[in-house]
Amino acid sequence: MNSVLRAFHGTVHRYPGGADALAVVLTQFGHPIKGGVLRNKANPEFPGNSASLADADATMAVTSDYAVLHALCANHSHVAIRVDADVQPSDLAVLEMITHVWLSHGQVGAAIDAALADQHIEHSEMAEIDQAIYRHEQALHALKARLKALVQPSRGRRRP
């Protein structure tokens, strides 16, 4: 099953109340859809309906679940990071990003360690490693963005 379709399926079914409840909210926010139609669009095994980019966009906007976006990025060798415009750059904000990098780095190691426990790697284990690496890349790019926010114009002086 395609990772983007899997992500859309998961997003719809993780929403409290599932497809029917999400359809009501989507309709209220200007994306009219019936629960049954949304359920069929989210079912990658159903050949009749398929989710459109507009469906995915509206669903992400309503649910704040960006699994579809991350699946698209991962499929095309990109990484999506949230731009926190409302967070002021500070030493504490950078430290928070560093702890996220450390955590994600450990998750990569744990995924590889678990996969190698039986001395061979299965497809499902490689998928877990891929996801851990993606999350680590996200954390590193978020740290870079936070550090860039701290950059100030050069004053022509060099540190000793």
Does residue 99 share a domain with residue 53? no
Same domain, 105 and 139: yes
Q: Are residues 59 and 100 in the same domain?
A: no
pLDDT digits (tens, 9 = 90+) for 116-134: 999 999 999 998 999 899 8
The verdict on residue 82 lying in a domain is: no
Taking every pair of Cα atoms in the chain, the longest distance, rounded to a whole number of angstroms, is 68
| Claim to verify: residue 57 and residue 96 sit in the same structural domain | no
Of 104, 101, 97, 153, the C-alpha closest to 133 is 104
Neighbours of 91 (CB within 10 A): 8
Give the whole-angstrom CA distance, residue 51 versus residue 37.
10
**Same domain flag for 8 and 49:** yes
Per-residue pLDDT tens over the stretch 132-151: 998 899 889 888 888 887 78
Q: Tell me, what's the pLDDT at 47?
A: 75
The pLDDT tens digits of the residues spanning 71-110 come to 999 899 888 887 766 667 677 778 888 898 899 999 999 9
Q: Could you tell me which residue, 21 or 2, shows the higher pLDDT?
A: 21
Number of domains in the chain: 2
In which domain, by residue range, is 142 found? 91-150
What's the predicted TM-score (pTM) here?
0.65
Q: Exposure of 7 by Cβ count < 10 A (0-12 exposed, 13-18 middle, 19+ buried)?
A: buried
Both 61 and 95 in a single domain? no
Residues 135 and 97 in one domain: yes
Q: Domain for residue 85, yes or no? A: no
CA 30, 36, 39, 40 torsion: positive or negative?
A: negative
Same domain, 13 and 56: yes
Does residue 156 form part of some domain? no
Residue 107 in any domain: the answer is yes
Contact criterion met (CB below 8 Å) for 147 and 94: yes
Residues 116 and 141 in one domain: yes
Residue 99 lies in a domain: yes
Per-residue confidence (pLDDT) for residue 48, from 0 to 100: 74
**Domain stops at, among 75, 107, 126:** 75
Convert 46-72 to b/e letters by CB count within 10 Å (16 or more is b): eeeeebeeebbebbbebbebbbbbbbb
Q: Which of 42, 75, 108 is the last residue of a domain?
A: 75
Helix residue ranges per DSSP H, the chain: 3-14, 18-28, 35-42, 53-63, 67-75, 91-116, 123-150
Same domain assignment for residues 8 and 62: yes
User: Tokens for 87?
Assistant: 């967070």
52-77, pLDDT tens digit by residue?
A: 999 999 999 999 999 999 999 989 98
Same structural domain, 95 and 142: yes
* Listed residues 28, 44, 75: the one ending a domain: 75
